Structure 1
Amino acid sequence: MKRVLFVLVLVVFQLSSKAQVRIPEMSPKAVIKQVVGLTDVEIVYSRPSARGRSVLGNLVPFGQLWRTGANENTIITFGDDVVINGKTLKKGKYALFSVPNVQSWDIIFYTAIDNWGTPKEYDESKVALKATVQDQTLSKPVETFTIAINNLETSSATLDIAWENSYVSLKFEVPTKKIAIASIEKTLAGPTPEEYYTAAQYFYQSNSDIVKGREYIDKAVELSKSVPFYYLRLKSLIQAKQGDKKGAIETAKWSISAAEAAGNKEYVEMNKASIDEWSR
């Protein structure tokens, strides 16, 4: 009997521990992900609805700092530096605050993003950028608070905010040309020394085409302005595997000098041990 009771209690406990009451959120969360040119932009915010209430100037007072949404901070993330009204906003995450007024809004990008609502103590030093935009009255009211990224061009877009009869739009520019040119130049310049090193490492460790591995590590060494000791270590191992122990010893000695200059004792000892082995 006791065993039956114990099992029943255990089953009830397990069921109760898994049970979760779910109800709809009054201000559901939304996530916007948009690529502008070559720059990733993301906005995470909660969307309150008017529900018959007077919003701007009442529920959201004029002239006061607003969280620009509901619940925790509205967070906007830029994958690259952007330019707003001629000022640079560094890439990263920001709390999106605003100060709605009758004819204009102040849009504020704030570096502290862990507030519930507005900060208890507003710190002007945490304002990364502030911009003023004109309020455009809508003929048809927007029931649910909305943030969007619109007017997409290859080098710009607008951050749009709408609720009730109020609509504001803030243009931001992205460094598409700079990113594209850098990508083109990197691609046309060919692989980097590190990419050649990684390819050589694969061929050596996988016991596949050691000749190809030697070709790639030679290229990595050739293209390096200051050859890293670990490049030279790999080259010596490949040389030894090819049967060129004399060349491997010379390269290992070079690796020792580079490792000593870098203060890496581990590579110094590994190279010395290999030289002893290859000298027999």
Structure 2
Amino acid sequence: MNNAELYQKNNSLQKRDALDALEEFAKKIRWKKHGDRVIDIGCGDGGITINILKEYMPENFERLVGCDISENMINFANIHHGNERTHFTTLDIEGFLPLTLKNKFDHAFSFYVLHWIKHQETAFTNIYNMLNVGGDCLLVFIGYHPIYEAYRILARNNKWSSWLQDVDRFISPYHDSQDPEKEIKKMMEEIGYINIEVSSKQKVFIYNNPESLKKAVQAINPFKIPLDVFNEYFEDYMDAFRHMIQIREINNNESDIIKFSYNLITVYATK
């Protein structure tokens, strides 16, 4: 998950869902007339921050900060996207929140990050503490996803178990939840958020061929699978994955499309 170039070219799912969320909540976001201060949590290579999020921001914003736990991602983002009003910095959202980030932002966004976080209350508290009073947040992350079941199957395979020993660390806290909306809203109310909206919706995505899926899987792969065996790993991954998704031949066997459904959680709230 530290290869910025690979992630930049193979995150079409993340881009689509970020765009969908911004379209849906654009009218709710409380933009000021000028001087908005914005943070994008888990910005990765910075592409979504600049090419999607920034398009929804007023032109006269004061500051845009992207943060990510990966130094490689942050270095890439600053080189390719940084300027006098846009800066990228390293931050572990479930760790210690620096004083320099407390009560500093009018808006907090996060796309496809919070499902990696085990200490959910810490992360949501940090986001709350970043905001000014009256500030708002829009957070998008995965609930149920068939990729997690594939991980679990591979973790039980002797061939891959040594690399997937910590598999539960990389499964969304809401993958097995029966009522993630209620669970998240209760946590946020206890932290102090108001005007909380939480939705968990089933979405569908299609990869036009297995190679596209392979690159996407490699771009977000959290396990230290050696490159020389990754092709073999992906073959076993697809065997596990195909039991939960639709793979069908099209165009007279010219290629396979890979279609799967998953649950996406979207949260909007204010401080």
Q: TM-score, with normalisation over the residues of structure 1?
A: 0.21
Structure with more relative contact order (C-alpha pairs < 8 Å, separation 6 or more): 2
Q: TM-score, with normalisation over the residues of structure 2?
A: 0.21
Task: Determine which structure has more spread, i.e. the larger CA radius of gyration.
Answer: 1
